[in-house]
Structures are given as structure tokens and as C-alpha cells.
């Protein structure tokens, strides 16, 4: 369960990225987040895993207010939230396998177990042959899939996907979508920020529309439309 | 928990990236630690010299002829022995003085066989426990009744000058060394800071996917320790080598110092250098690691 209570975010340079947002995303829900570039989608997502703190208001994860979390408590929050970053954020000095296993590694999991889990997830994403390659040797779409693999490897309660502007391979998008649905069906809440109209229109899930930092539409079984609001 | 293994791997990845920087840091830290090593060696050397001097701290009291030998032996000598700073009193009568002189300078034998009269004075050799006590004891001896003192000699001036000089040397070295150790801490710290900066985005990523501050920090602390360990090892080798070759030279030229090499424990120097090396590594690493990680929450 994710809850925003009158959340606003003003960056140091004075830009209001989020303006008084209140909403609730239930456990196991699948939510699209759309809006024009610069609308505040990434900022919204960053509130959830506390890459950024709200300027005012509160964010609750599983009924727990994460706004006053202490520095040393933050890692444990993040271990429960898988994030597919808009810019992937892969570690270039280690292999695909090591990147994917990293989340488990920081938790001190047995290497054999990590290896099992990593192999399984890489298989799921069609990356088995890339396990020993380095991120710099991969295409954009492959990097994104590695990032997804890392995000889901420890079965997080919440999965956040921040898709880059400009579509990657559309066929891959559908493959990824299927995987997200699969993960979602196992109880993980998914928040998916995207620019992919076809994806949103076909899925008919709940759609949140952000514009200039405001939540302008929140529709069950919505479609990709933010021009009309 | 397999964290140690992972952290060692992280350390390896980090050190691989900063190999050249680490190399120059090793040179500087090794230099600082070697100087510390030489300082310890020279302190030990001084200790040997001082011990030798202290063993020979003696006041010689030349007595004018015509004193009462019985009073001397039964009253004065026991009384001098009671002085707190006095460890031993030897009475050398005229005859003994002559024998000693004969022994020391054999050419004098003939002269003594010709001279009937013995011109050498009797004397008291008063051994004193500390150089500071020489003057006090000498002053007090002058006031003893029953003997007439012809002359009192002791090496006080020289000994005290030497002590003063070695004390100055020690103070100077301590200041100098403190500066060097601070330098090596700074070098360690800036080396690690550079490593951290070069991996700043990686560190941010690690934290975004759930790494704790300590998971990120440990590799740098280990890096500091490795840096210190490696530098102290080199410094120990250097000091050991130079000490042995220098000791050979010293032993050849100065007789009473021939034993000094064996009196300096290399083990002691080794552990001191190791402790200082590792400590400066940890302090340097903690300093840079915490200053950077606390930048942004
Ligand atoms: N760290 C930051 N400091 C200052 N301003 C920022 C920062 N991050 C984002 N912004 C500003 O906040 C606003 C919202 O940015 P955000 O990244 O949330 O948009 P977005 O909806 O994710 O856009 P896109 O679809 O292009 O990814 C933008 O105007 C952006 O310039
Ligand atoms: Mg964005």
C-alpha cells in the first residue's frame, strides 16, 4: 500500500515538481503513471523509495510514514521496493549477473542462492547469454531488461518502473509488460511510468495523469490521454 | 552472512580502479613510516649510549696526604655510601693508584722503579646513579669533615650537554614525526577521497538499490588498512636493511657500541610501524569516507 498525503516537492532551484498530491495505491494494484515530459513522474516515483524527500506532506508505505525515516533505515525500505530507473543505473564495473545479484548481495545472501535466483530471472528476461557481459556492451533495451531483472530479483512488495522517453523496442515492451503482469499477479504492486500509448490503451488499468506537478486525472480502466485535461 | 566476502570483492573492484593513485600513496606513506622507524632506532641507540654513560658516572675525589685513614674508612666512606644518589664508593690508596698507572702505561714502570717517593694522591671513586646527581653529590662531598680535598673531577658538563642535546633531538624528532604522520593520514585520506569521487555515481546506485552506508564504506576502510599495511611492510624492510648495514659500520668504529644492534628489537620496531601504519590508514579512510557519505542523504 502506497499513500500520498498532500505531497508537494519544490526542488532547490524553485521548480515545483509535485503540487499537493494525495492518492492511495492498494496492495497488488497495477497503476500507470503518464503525463508530458517534465510533469513530475520521476519525482513522484522518487518519493516512494525516498530518493527525494517531500517538501511538505507525507508518504506512507504499508501504513508507515517514511518521511521521518532515519538515514540508516532507508536501505531497508529500498530492499522492499524494486526500481527500474529511467537511466537504468547499472554498475559498469561488474557483469550483468553481478548487477542483477547486487540487491541480494547487499543483503548478505548466500552466493549459491544468489546465483540460482539470478539465473532464473535472467532466463525470464531472455538474458541468459548476457550474464557475463558488462553493461557497456549492451543495447539500450538489454540494459533496461537487466535493470528490470535487478528490480525483481528479490521479489519486492512494490515494483516501480520509470520508462525512458522515446520508446525502446516495442516488441520488447510487450514482453516486459507480460512479465510485469505476471509479477503483479503474484501480489506485487506495480507503478509504471510510461510514454507508451499503445501499452496503456490496450491494458486498461488504472491511469494517473500528472501535469505540471498536479494530479489532473485518476481513472480506473483509463487510457493514454493527457491532452484533454 | 556472506557480507565479508562481498565487501572484499567491492574493495578489490575499487582498488583496481585506483591502482596508480594507491602506488604513489604507498611511496609517501612508506617514507613517513621509515622515518618513524629510523627515529625509533636512533632513540634506542641513544638509550644504549646513555646507559653506558650512566654506568660510568663517577666522581673522583683526590685527597691531600696526611688524612686519617681510619676515619676515612670507618666514618667518611660509610657516610658517603649513605647518600641517596651514591651507588658505590671505592677507595684507591697511593699504592693502588701506582699499580693502576703502571698497568695502563707500561713505559712508566722504569720511572717508578727509580722514584722512591710515590707522587700519586689517594682518591675516592664515588659512583653516582644519575647524571643530574653529579653536582649535588660533589657539593656535598666538599662539605665532608675529616678529609681535605685536593680536587674533585667529574664529567658532568659533557654528560649534561649530551643529555640536553639528545633531549632536543628527541623533541625535534617528535614534532617532525607528528607532521609526517599527519601528512600520511592526509595522503591516505585524499587518495581514498579520490577513489570515492571516481566512483561517486556507483556509490549512489548502490545506495539506491539498498546498500547500507557501511556496505559502501567498508571497502574504503579496508583500502586504507591495506595501504597502511603494505606501506608499513615496505618501511620495516627498509629500516631493517639500513639498520643492519649502519650497525655494522658503527660496531667497527665504536667499541662499546658493538652490542647495540642486538639490543634493538626489530620486532618492537615492526609492530610499532604496523600499528601506526594501520591506524593512520583507518583514520584517513574513515575521515574521507564519512565526509563524503554524509554529503547527501
Ligand atoms: N534534481 C532536480 N533538481 C531540480 N529540478 C529538478 C530535479 N529533478 C527534476 N527537476 C525538475 O522537476 C520537474 C519534474 O521532473 P521529472 O523528472 O519528475 O519529470 P518527468 O515527468 O519524469 O519527465 P520525463 O517524462 O521527461 O521523464 C522538471 O521541471 C525538472 O526539470
Ligand atoms: Mg522522468
Name residue, grid cell 727509580: B114
Q: Which residue has the higher pLDDT, A171 or B131?
A: B131
Residue A57 lies in a domain: no
pLDDT tier at B1, thresholds 50, 70, 90? low
- Domains of chain B in start order, with CATH, are 2-53+160-296 (no CATH), 58-129 (3.30.70.3040)
Residue A127 lies in a domain: yes
pLDDT value of residue B256: 57
pLDDT above 70: residue B223: yes
Q: Which residues contact A111 (CB under 8 A, 6 or more apart)?
A: B2, B5
Q: Which residues contact A67 (CB under 8 A, 6 or more apart)?
A: A53, A54, A57, A58, A59
Which of B209, B214, B293, B295 to mutate to test binding with chain A, by most A CBs within 10 Å of its CB? B209
Average of per-residue pLDDT across A214-221: 92
Q: Which residues contact B125 (CB under 8 A, 6 or more apart)?
A: B58, B59, B60, B61, B88, B89, B90, B92
CB contact under 8 Å between B206 and A91, yes or no, is: yes
Quote the number of domains for chain A. 1
Average of per-residue pLDDT across B75-81: 82
pLDDT above 90: residue A105: yes
Q: Which residue has the higher pLDDT, B83 or A184?
A: A184
The percent of residues above 90 in pLDDT, for chain A, comes to: 77
Average of per-residue pLDDT across A173-180: 82
pLDDT above 60: residue A210: yes
Residue A184 lies in a domain: yes
Residue A24 lies in a domain: no
Is A75's Cβ below 8 Å from some Cβ in B?
Answer: yes
| Whole-angstrom distance, CA of residue B146 vs CA of residue A175 | 117
pLDDT value of residue B176: 84
Residue A66 lies in a domain: no
Where is average pLDDT lowest: A132-146, B117-131, B206-220?
A: B117-131
| Chain B residues inside the 8 Å CB shell of A150 | 209
pLDDT above 90: residue B229: yes
pLDDT value of residue B47: 77
Average of per-residue pLDDT across A204-220: 93
For ligand 1, say whether the CB of A87 is within 6 Å of any of its atoms: no
| Domain coverage including residue A194 | 29-51+78-220
pLDDT value of residue B260: 59
- ipTM, 2 dp: 0.91
pLDDT value of residue A9: 97
Q: Which of B280, B206, B216 is nearest to B29 (CA)?
A: B280
Average of per-residue pLDDT across B272-297: 81
Cβ(B218)–Cβ(B7) under 8 Å?
Answer: yes
pLDDT above 70: residue B263: no
pLDDT tens for each residue of B148-184: 777 777 766 667 777 778 888 888 888 988 888 898 8
Burial environment of residue B294 by CB neighbours within 10 A (0 to 12, 13 to 18, 19 or more)? exposed
pLDDT tier at A148, thresholds 50, 70, 90? very high
pLDDT above 90: residue A128: yes
| Whole-angstrom distance, CA of residue A194 vs CA of residue A170 | 12
pLDDT tens for each residue of B11-38: 898 888 888 888 988 998 899 889 888 8
Residue of B nearest to A75 (CA): B210
Q: Which of A154, A137, A124, A152 is nearest to A96 (CA)?
A: A137
Average of per-residue pLDDT across B252-276: 73
pLDDT value of residue B84: 85
Average of per-residue pLDDT across A132-151: 93
pLDDT value of residue A119: 96
Where is average pLDDT lowest: A55-69, A71-85, A128-142, B281-295?
A: B281-295
pLDDT value of residue B134: 78
Which of A105, A150, A158 to mutate to test binding with chain B, by most B CBs within 10 Å of its CB? A105
Average of per-residue pLDDT across A120-146: 93
pLDDT above 60: residue B99: yes
Residue A23 lies in a domain: no
Residue A21 lies in a domain: no
pLDDT above 60: residue B48: yes
Residue A172 lies in a domain: yes
Q: Which residue has the higher pLDDT, B158 or B94?
A: B94
> Residue A119's domain is classified under what CATH number?
3.40.50.300
pLDDT value of residue B292: 63
pLDDT tier at A64, thresholds 50, 70, 90? very high
pLDDT value of residue B123: 85
Whole-angstrom Cα Rg for chain A: 17
| Whole-angstrom distance, CA of residue B188 vs CA of residue A95 | 29
CA distance B223 to chain A (A): 17
| Chain A residues inside the 8 Å CB shell of B202 | 91-93
pLDDT tier at B5, thresholds 50, 70, 90? confident
Amino acid at each position: 500500500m502506497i499513500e500520498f498525503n498532500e505531497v508537494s516537492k519544490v526542488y532547490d532551484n524553485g521548480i515545483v515538481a509535485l503540487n499537493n498530491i494525495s492518492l492511495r495505491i492498494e496492495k497488488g494494484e497495477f497503476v500507470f503513471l503518464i503525463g508530458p515530459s517534465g510533469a513530475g513522474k520521476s519525482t513522484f516515483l522518487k518519493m516512494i523509495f525516498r530518493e527525494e524527500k517531500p517538501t511538505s506532506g507525507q508518504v506512507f508505505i504499508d501504513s508507515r510514514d517514511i518521511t521521518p525515516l532515519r538515514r540508516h533505515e532507508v536501505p531497508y525500505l529500498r530492499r522492499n521496493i524494486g526500481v527500474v530507473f529511467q537511466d537504468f543505473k547499472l554498475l559498469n564495473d561488474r557483469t550483468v549477473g553481478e548487477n542483477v545479484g547486487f540487491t541480494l548481495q547487499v543483503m548478505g545472501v548466500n552466493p549459491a542462492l544468489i546465483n540460482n535466483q539470478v539465473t532464473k530471472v535472467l532466463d525470464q528476461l531472455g538474458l541468459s547469454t548476457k550474464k557475463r557481459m558488462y553493461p557497456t556492451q549492451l543495447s539500450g533495451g538489454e540494459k533496461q531488461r537487466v535493470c528490470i531483472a535487478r528490480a525483481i530479483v528479490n521479489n519486492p512488495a512494490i515494483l516501480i518502473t520509470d520508462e525512458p522517453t522515446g520508446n525502446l523496442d516495442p516488441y520488447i515492451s510487450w514482453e516486459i509488460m507480460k512479465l510485469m503482469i505476471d509479477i503483479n499477479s503474484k501480489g506485487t504492486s506495480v507503478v509504471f511510468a510510461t510514454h507508451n500509448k499503445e501499452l496503456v490503451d490496450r491494458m486498461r488499468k488504472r491511469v494517473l495523469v500528472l501535469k505540471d506537478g498536479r494530479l489532473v486525472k485518476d481513472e480506473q480502466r483509463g487510457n493514454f490521454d493527457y491532452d484533454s485535461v | 552472512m556472506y557480507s565479508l566476502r562481498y565487501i572484499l570483492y567491492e574493495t578489490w573492484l575499487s582498488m583496481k580502479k585506483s591502482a596508480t593513485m594507491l602506488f604513489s600513496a604507498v611511496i609517501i606513506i612508506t617514507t613517513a613510516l621509515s622515518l618513524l622507524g629510523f627515529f625509533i632506532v636512533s632513540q634506542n641507540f641513544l638509550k644504549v649510549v646513555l646507559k653506558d654513560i650512566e654506568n660510568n658516572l663517577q666522581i673522583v675525589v683526590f685527597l691531600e696526604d696526611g688524612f686519617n685513614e681510619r676515619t676515612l674508612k670507618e666514618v667518611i666512606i660509610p657516610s658517603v655510601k649513605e647518600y641517596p644518589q651514591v651507588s658505590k664508593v671505592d677507595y684507591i690508596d697511593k699504592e693502588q693508584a701506582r699499580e693502576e698507572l703502571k698497568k695502563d702505561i707500561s713505559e712508566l714502570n722504569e720511572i717508578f722503579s727509580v722514584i722512591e717517593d710515590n707522587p700519586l694522591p689517594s682518591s675516592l671513586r664515588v659512583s653516582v646513579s644519575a647524571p643530574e646527581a653529579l653536582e649535588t653529590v660533589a657539593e656535598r662531598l666538599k662539605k665532608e669533615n675529616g678529609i681535605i680535598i685536593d680536587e674533585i673531577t667529574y664529567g658532568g658538563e659533557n654528560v649534561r650537554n649530551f643529555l640536553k642535546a639528545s633531549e632536543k633531538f628527541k623533541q625535534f624528532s617528535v614534532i617532525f614525526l607528528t607532521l609526517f604522520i599527519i601528512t600520511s593520514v592526509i595522503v591516505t585520506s585524499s587518495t581514498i577521497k579520490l577513489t570515492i569521487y571516481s566512483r561517486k555515481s556507483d556509490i549512489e546506485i548502490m545506495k539506491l538499490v539498498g546498500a547500507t552506508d557501511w556496505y559502501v564504506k567498508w571497502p574504503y576502510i579496508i583500502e586504507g588498512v591495506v595501504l597502511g599495511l603494505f606501506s608499513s611492510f615496505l618501511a620495516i624492510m627498509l629500516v631493517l636493511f639500513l639498520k643492519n648495514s649502519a650497525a655494522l659500520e658503527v660496531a667497527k668504529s665504536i667499541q662499546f657500541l658493538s652490542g647495540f644492534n642486538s639490543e634493538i628489537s626489530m620486532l618492537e620496531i615492526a609492530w610499532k610501524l604496523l600499528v601506526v601504519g594501520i591506524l593512520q590508514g583507518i583514520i584517513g579512510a574513515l575521515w574521507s569516507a564519512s565526509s563524503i557519505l554524509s554529503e547527501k542523504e
